[in-house]
Amino acid sequence: MVSLHPEYVVDDKDKRKAVVLPVEEWEKVIEELEELEDIRLYDTAKEQTEESVPFEQAVKEIEQDDGR
């Protein structure tokens, strides 16, 4: 888990409007989100019942469809 040290920007009524993070922490948040997205995509792909096609075969089929 990423350890965050947020600073808040508030309006004239002390209502929080925005958050400021150090760049290094923000970059770690982005990395974590990207990893989570990869995991979700993997889980979705594993749930599909469609037959997979080897990469090389897929490339050949695409090239044939493009008339190459």
C-alpha–C-alpha distance, residues 50 and 55, integer Å: 15
pLDDT at 46: 85
pLDDT at 29: 97
Q: What is the pTM of this model?
A: 0.62
pLDDT at 25: 97
Helix (H) or strand (E) holding 9: strand 7-10
Please write the tens of the pLDDT for every residue from 12-36: 999 999 999 999 999 999 999 999 9
**67 band by pLDDT with thresholds 50, 70 and 90:** low
